[in-house]
Chain A
Amino acid sequence: MLRHTTHWVTKPANRVDGPDKANGKAKYAGDYRVPGQLATRALRSPIPHARILRIDTSAALKVPGVLAVITSDDFVDHGRFGFPVADNFILAYQKVRYVGEGIAIVAAVDAEAAEAGVRAIELDLEALPVIEDMEQALLPDAPIIPDVVTEGSKHGQPNICLTQIVRNGDPEPIIDASPVQLDQTYATPFQEHAYLEPEAVLSIPNPDGSVIIYACDQSPFNNRGVAAAVLGLPQDKVRVIQAIVGGSFGGKDEVVYQMSAQTAKLALLTNRPVSMVFSREESIMVSYKRDASQIRIRLGADRDGTLQAARVEAWLDGGAYSAETVLTAWRAAMHLAGAYKYQAVKGDVHVLYTNNNYSSAFRGFGNTEAVACIEQAIDEIAEQVEIDPIDLRLKNIIGKGDQTMTGATLNQEVGLRACLEWVRQKSDWDRKRREFPLQNKGRRYQKGIGVACYFHGMGLGGEGTDFANATVAIERDNSVTLTNGLTDYGTGARTVFTLIAADVLGARPERIKVLLTDTETAIDSGPTVASRASVVGGNATRVAVEKIAQLLTFAAANLLQCAPAQILRDKEAFIGPDEEPVDFDTVVNHARKLGYVLSAHGRWQLPVIHWDFAKGTGTPYVGYTFGAAIVEVTVHSGTGRVQADRIWAAHDIGKVLFPEGAYGQLYGGITQGLGYGLMEEVEFNHGYIHNVNFDDYIIPTAMDVPPIEATFIEAPFHLGPYGAKNVAEPSMLGVAPALANAVYHATGKRIRELPLTPERVLLGHALHNDDHGDNSRQWLGYGKGLGNVRVI
């Protein structure tokens, strides 16, 4: 039933949630106002690592206006949660492991009363030694952070959560025998998601003991699972409704699960709606980050630039709780050596515990870190063999039928070569590479141009079963309602589902409404992560809607007295052999008369693949997206300031379903990559975050983003709806390393540590602001005393 010509998919379209958002009518979780709603405030850890000796909330409960106070004691198994490693808590249990970790929550009639309640809680903490970085985590006498037995414990390294590996042959002897060798270590920073909407949740109790949670989460079903478990309720007593979400980028899972369970518990205890809305400072201090990494890369190559082997070892600072860093590390491992052909590759990615907040999912999910490092190393090899960086890449990149770095065979169309050639031509690369160094001599402003390319595994891959469920129903007024278990947190997924349904059903998009994901109306589809919504959720939509489309074809055939195969479609018209068109409403009404049930369910799953985590071998993904980016920079030799002048990007994302949305993802991803490469770094000083608001944590403004010239190379992907792949995460991957390579081209300085701040460019190292975390301390209330918190 898949149509070959499309009327709505791939054509200009308006985002379905666009008008409400542009008009200020869209309701985010912090915008809900319900009668009797209580406010909350949290008692948070003022120090990075401590044992909780005593909590006494009785004085807080006597504060006027305070209705309830909760701690870890209020949850099943002390609120322990976390997947794959259950090392985290809804509220700190026995120990606190990072600054700002929640210890108790007060619900009160207003924020002032809640704040007074927090200050009345008696808390005794015994300070423990702090692990400030990954080196300290590995010291023999380091304090042990997690309360679970880690994989590293078996080797005397309890602060190593686990190690994800890839084993494809034996690279070391090949590297040792190679005429060209590289052995360098690169570093990437903690990055803050900086979604513009700080986290917000509203929980509403029902008389039957169930609870409704409106949350700004990415994955409502996972949220429900955690909440039900720690509240001790069956799943059907917890209903999670995703509000409009103001950006996420991987960042609104675990932290929102904690807020959801906390507010739900308070709502059930008080029988009142309970809201929790973070300030920006609370958001940055409490929510998780992109892990910081150190990646040691050894490469061997021939003198003609042919890459031979790679040995890569990476260390990720996972912070106090492992969260999804366990899986981030796996994706990093699958991409460590880049989109190149090798004879052998061996990789190890270690996840370490420290007292630096905690790390989890963030756009790119480990591959952002991997690409940032390997793409600098590839440029360093190109320099050694004196080959143009693009020529060296073109010589080594993987194509259809080749083995990737993991040893799996690539059975798909590969647009990587076309991407590299497009950015090369559009940027006037060859002339600029030649002329900039000549022009720079003796100049204060130095120009440079750099490239990077990448591959990015689609979907969950070896992480888990990759499926989605959609439903469709034609309503009495002949409008069409869709649900999808995969969600839209600003990505445009609901618009993609709408366009697919419009095309498959032959119904105008205006008829179609995709509901916000509600665990009571949609069907569990796992987490909305890994840029999988368009492919997996889109296919589930297609499968569901095809069932209805087929019924309507039967109804039209019955009406027009012909065989179903004789019915042709043109937008909403059904056309029979007499070429007399019948409209959509007439056919739907006739279908009802025939007694057809005009609702259906569709489930779609990516083919099952197998990765052996213990052996480090197998097939990691069913397919890949590809891309290349070129950045042109000007570096001020006196200040070290780097300005991006222009960016060219080409991305092979398969068929583009929603062009405005896809370009939006591309530009937005490029801009996050620009921030990652140039300015963004969550700075920890002794466990305290220095930059807790946008005056210190700087993200790109409109002034920082140069003109971007971008295109999509639409190499068709046989599994995607209409040949689509994914775009959200890969769009940001190439920018940071291309920047680093451009700065090297401009200055001759190889910095190997992101972001490329003026200090690093000028001095070769960062000037850390050693303020002992004054910004965090101020927010935590150090200035006015810590209430009844005693640190022993």
Chain B
Amino acid sequence: MNTQIKFTLNGSPVMVEAPGEISLLRLLRDHLNLTGTKEGCAIGECGACSVLLDGRVVNSCLVLAPQVNGREVVTIEGLGQQDGAHSASDLQAAFVKYGAVQCGYCTPGLVIAGEALLRSNPMPTRAEIIDGIAGNLCRCTGYQQIVDAIEQTALQRAERTQQHAAAKVQE
């Protein structure tokens, strides 16, 4: 039975007809052709399907598609700056720079988890970063460089915030 699902996806309103019993992951991949969000286990253990739902990280394989009605979903495709041409977010760029990407299959989910962490805790300790990505499995990296990438992004964002504040004071 198809049902109508209306929500905000990566900043834009969408309306889609889809079976009511499918997961948000299947809705994104099979009905909206957003394949950046990956399926690794389909039981909420691996985090490869992580997306932001109203700013919180969720396993999209465990969310029923109709549950996102009226809510805001951000996927890996929506994280970059949307000013004109799509470009990578600072966190996405840091993942590349610090060697946090290998096979890349877990990467979208880990970037999403890292982004959710930084939004709720802008200056996390290394231990807090590890805690924040504990729901995301990676088989390639051993996590060290992923933690580096999130840590360095936090530092850069803090520096930028300080610069903005200083600029405001000068004004």
Interface residues of chain A, those whose CB is within 8 Å of chain B, are 14-15, 17-28, 30-31, 33, 193-198, 244-249, 279-280, 489-492, 660-661, 663-664, 666-672, 693-695, 699-703, 705, 708
B7 adjacent to chain A (CB < 8 Å) = no
Taken together as a complex, chains A and B put the C-alpha atoms of A202 and B24 apart, in Å, by: 24
Most chain B CB inside 10 Å of its own CB: which residue of A30, A664, A700: A664
| 23 A-B pairs in the complex with CB atoms less than 8 angstroms apart | A14-B97, A22-B108, A23-B76, A23-B79, A25-B77, A193-B139, A194-B137, A195-B105, A196-B105, A196-B138, A198-B39, A246-B104, A247-B102, A280-B40, A280-B42, A664-B140, A668-B141, A693-B41, A699-B139, A701-B134, A702-B136, A702-B147, A705-B143
Q: Which of B79, B105, B111 contacts A28 (CB 8 A)?
A: B105
> When the two chains form their complex, are residues B98 and A660 in contact, meaning their CB atoms are under 8 A apart?
yes
> When the two chains form their complex, are residues A249 and B139 in contact, meaning their CB atoms are under 8 A apart?
yes
> When the two chains form their complex, are residues B104 and A490 in contact, meaning their CB atoms are under 8 A apart?
yes
Q: A22-B96, A246-B103, A246-B105 are in contact. Are A197 and B88 (CB under 8 A)?
A: no
Interface 0/1 of B75-98, CB less than 8 Å to A: 111011000001010001101111
In the complex, what residues of A have CB within 8 A of residue B131's CB? 703
Taken together as a complex, chains A and B put the C-alpha atoms of A660 and B88 apart, in Å, by: 20
> When the two chains form their complex, are residues B139 and A667 in contact, meaning their CB atoms are under 8 A apart?
no
4 shortest A-B CB distances, which residue pairs?
A24-B36, A490-B103, A21-B104, A246-B105
Which bracket fits the contact residues of B?
35 or more
Q: Which of A14, A197, A492, A671 contacts B143 (CB 8 A)?
A: A671
Q: A24-B37, A196-B105, A246-B104 are in contact. Are A660 and B140 (CB under 8 A)?
A: no
Q: A14-B97, A249-B139 are in contact. Are A694 and B46 (CB under 8 A)?
A: yes
> When the two chains form their complex, are residues A196 and B106 in contact, meaning their CB atoms are under 8 A apart?
yes
Secondary structure of the A contact surface, majority rule: loop
B57 adjacent to chain A (CB < 8 Å) = no
Q: Which of A26, A249, A663, A694 contacts B145 (CB 8 A)?
A: A663
Taken together as a complex, chains A and B put the C-alpha atoms of A17 and B96 apart, in Å, by: 9
In the complex, what residues of B have CB within 8 A of residue A195's CB? 103, 105, 139
Chain B min CB distance to A26 (Å): 5
Interface residues of chain B, those whose CB is within 8 Å of chain A, are 29, 33-43, 45-46, 48, 75-77, 79-80, 86, 88, 92-93, 95-99, 101-108, 111, 130-131, 133-147
In the complex, what residues of B have CB within 8 A of residue A705's CB? 142-144
> When the two chains form their complex, are residues A664 and B141 in contact, meaning their CB atoms are under 8 A apart?
yes
In the complex, what residues of A have CB within 8 A of residue B146's CB? 702
Chain B min CB distance to A426 (Å): 16
Other than A196-B105, A247-B139, A668-B142, give 17 A-B pairs with Cβ distance below 8 A.
A15-B99, A23-B86, A33-B35, A196-B103, A246-B103, A247-B102, A247-B140, A249-B139, A280-B40, A280-B46, A667-B142, A667-B143, A670-B142, A671-B141, A694-B40, A702-B136, A702-B147
In the complex, what residues of A have CB within 8 A of residue B76's CB? 23-24
In the complex, what residues of B have CB within 8 A of residue A23's CB? 36, 76-77, 79-80, 86, 88, 92
In the complex, what residues of B have CB within 8 A of residue A196's CB? 38, 40, 46, 48, 103, 105-106, 137-140
> When the two chains form their complex, are residues A280 and B105 in contact, meaning their CB atoms are under 8 A apart?
no
Chain B min CB distance to A736 (Å): 15
Q: Which of A19, A20, A197, A249 contacts B105 (CB 8 A)?
A: A197
In the complex, what residues of A have CB within 8 A of residue B43's CB? 280, 693-695
> When the two chains form their complex, are residues B40 and A197 in contact, meaning their CB atoms are under 8 A apart?
yes
> When the two chains form their complex, are residues A661 and B38 in contact, meaning their CB atoms are under 8 A apart?
no
> When the two chains form their complex, are residues A660 and B145 in contact, meaning their CB atoms are under 8 A apart?
yes
Taken together as a complex, chains A and B put the C-alpha atoms of A672 and B143 apart, in Å, by: 11
Chain B min CB distance to A659 (Å): 8
Chain A min CB distance to B92 (Å): 4
Chain B min CB distance to A8 (Å): 16
